[in-house]
A and B are shown apart, each in its own frame.
Chain A
Amino acid sequence: MRTALEIVDNVPEGVGMQRTSGESRIRFHVRDGAARLDRLYQQGAAKIRLPRPEPGRPPEAVLINTAGGLTGGDTMAFEVEVADGAHAVVTTQACEKIYKSSSGPAQVASRLSVGAHARLDWLPQETILFNRARLSRRLEADLADGATLLALEAVVFGRIAMGEVVASGSFHERWRIRRNGRLVFADDTRIDGSVADIASHPAVLAGGRAVATVVYVAENAEDYLERAREAVGESGGVTAFDGKLVARIISMDTLSLRRALVPLLAVLADGAPLPKVWHI
């Protein structure tokens, strides 16, 4: 079924559209011996749903974009804080869709903060780019001593099964992760212009459409290397050094991406069940 914004893809340029903007902030802390919601703020199209956690499981926050997608000039901002000793899981209700832009890029900024000996699992679903989409997304994370961060960012450049081709557009993704103020992981992906042509190059994606980057920053990150390699199989690769593990996966579509991603996330979550949206 096509959503309203997908149909808008065919609207002639110059037709005015209202900009979408949203900002949500959430904080978890430990109270009565368990991680719980401390504060929640939401404004505009960025909403947060908090399903009742299973007994003994960390709280889960589900990010929702009530606008149903983003286009040029739209802005979304998420801020997640996990206080000392707490553990929380954050995911998204749906795959974020980025539609044709006739102006600047849609901007998505996420700021994560993980306290001492706390843990955050940041597991948004894939973002789907449509033809002529422009997206700039940033993920900034600050970790304290003994903090653990499991973070995923995934993108699909047009769904093959739907016959979508991203002939042109732009995609910028910036990661910056710091521990005690010191930069420990930085990554910048930038695909600008004739996206499908560029992606066909053997050094880029060799025609692949779906890309995931998974970063696990923890004092014992290297201990997961062998099991993580087995989990991703041949469509990806896993490396680990200096207290971090990094996995990259390139696939033809969302389904094959998830076949590698879900087992990998299961390893890095120590066998804890993934959010329901990740069940394949």
Chain B
Amino acid sequence: MVTAIRTPEPRRDDRPAPEAMVEPLTPERLLKLQTWLSPGFPIGAFSYSHGLEWAIETGTVTDPEALGGWIGELLRRGSARNDAILFAETWRAAAGRNADALREVGELAESLATSRERHLETMAQGTAFLKAVTAAWSTPTIETFAGAHSNRAAYPVAVALATASHAIPLAHSLPAYLHAFVANLVSVAVRLVPLGQTNGLRVVSALTPLVLETARAAEKLTLDDLGSATVRSELFSIQHETQYSRIFRT
């Protein structure tokens, strides 16, 4: 908790904050990352399926192979790739104390959630995440952001802000974020298809190289590179709104 008690010196806005200097992943930082991306962190991740519940309901995802294909496409050219770009942009903006860039990426991340449930999923989790880190792991960067953004944030933006502010390298925090997204969707399918725990773990394991590749690529991308091909996944998140009997909020 070294960073939380440091008194910030007055500094120019474009200079990296001391707590955001790129440093190695120390055990202390690893533990923060683990805590924040744990399924037990109080943001209700378990209640969001990202439209996967409708894909299962309609028979589009029925087995481990289809599940891996579905999530893999979100990583390769869908919402998860977009989130990775938003994460990397936020991380750099927070590390550079660039309030204008943070405002731009924050606004864009919210507006890119174009269905009611995608919007709920990213804003409810992001806002809960911001509240939790403000309460227990606060830094000047997090405080300033929360004040300027009405204590609201899209989920990738909130996690990137916290990791940058606690000097957890992008090269570790971004793949961890994507891995948590994958693990959450797999757990949806384990419960709904149902798939069985072992099959679920195999899907998580098989997608790991793609998680790493997506994160590595996104580190070099900017907001100009945003773009998703997974129109049907967007459509499914809309159609989930009218699913008759459902367990998940999205």
Contacts and interface: CB of A to CB of B under 8 A. Distances in A.
Interface of A: 172, 174, 182-192, 198-199, 201-206, 208, 211, 229, 236-242, 246, 248, 250
B52 to A, nearest CB: 10
A238 B238 CA distance: 6
Interface residues of B, number: 36
Query: Majority SS of interface residues in chain A?
Result: strand
Contact of A191 (B55, B229, B236): B229
B200 to A, nearest CB: 19
Contacts of B232: 202-206, 208, 250
B196 interface: no
Nearest to A234: B239
B66 interface: yes
B73 to A, nearest CB: 4
A240 B111 CA distance: 13
A250 to B, nearest CB: 6
B115 A246 contact: yes
A202 B60 contact: yes
B213 interface: no
Given A187-B112, A240-B116, A205 B69 contact: no
A229 B235 contact: no
Given A206-B60, A239-B116, 17 more contacts: A172-B227, A188-B227, A190-B227, A191-B77, A191-B229, A198-B77, A198-B229, A199-B229, A203-B78, A204-B230, A206-B232, A237-B115, A237-B236, A237-B241, A239-B117, A241-B119, A248-B231
A237 to B, nearest CB: 3
A188 B119 CA distance: 16
B110 to A, nearest CB: 8
Contact of A201 (B69, B82, B107): B69
A243 B229 CA distance: 26
Contacts of A190: 77, 226-229
B241 A188 contact: no
Main secondary structure of the interface of B (DSSP, over half): helix
Interface of B: 55, 60-61, 66, 69-70, 73-74, 77-78, 82, 107-108, 110-112, 114-117, 119, 226-236, 238-239, 241-242
Q: Which of B70, B82, B228 has the most CB of A within 10 A?
A: B228
A189 B112 CA distance: 11
A250 B229 CA distance: 13
- 10 tightest CB-CB pairs across the interface, nearest first? A190-B227, A237-B238, A186-B111, A188-B227, A203-B73, A241-B116, A239-B115, A237-B239, A203-B230, A188-B226
Contact of B108 (A183, A206, A208): A183
A143 to B, nearest CB: 13
B111 A203 contact: no
A186 B78 CA distance: 15
B234 A248 contact: yes
B70 A186 contact: no
B68 to A, nearest CB: 11
A229 B119 CA distance: 19
Nearest to B60: A202
A205 B108 contact: no
Contacts of A236: 235
Contact of B231 (A204, A229, A242): A204
Given A190-B227, A236-B235, A238-B238, A203 B74 contact: yes
B111 A183 contact: yes
Contacts of A202: 55, 60-61, 66, 69-70, 73, 232
20 contacts: A174-B227, A183-B107, A187-B114, A188-B82, A188-B227, A188-B228, A190-B227, A191-B229, A198-B77, A199-B229, A202-B55, A202-B69, A202-B70, A203-B70, A203-B233, A239-B114, A239-B115, A240-B116, A246-B115, A250-B235
B231 A205 contact: yes
The residue among B78, B236, B239 with the most chain A CB atoms within 10 A of its own CB is B239
Contacts of B230: 201, 203-204
A182 B236 CA distance: 27
Contact of A204 (B112, B227, B229, B239): B229
Contacts of B82: 188
Contacts of A238: 238
Contacts of B226: 188, 190
A199 B233 CA distance: 12
B209 to A, nearest CB: 19
B114 A250 contact: no
Nearest to B119: A241
A188 B238 contact: no
B229 A189 contact: yes
Contact of B242 (A183, A229, A250): A229
B227 A248 contact: no
Contacts of A201: 69, 73, 230
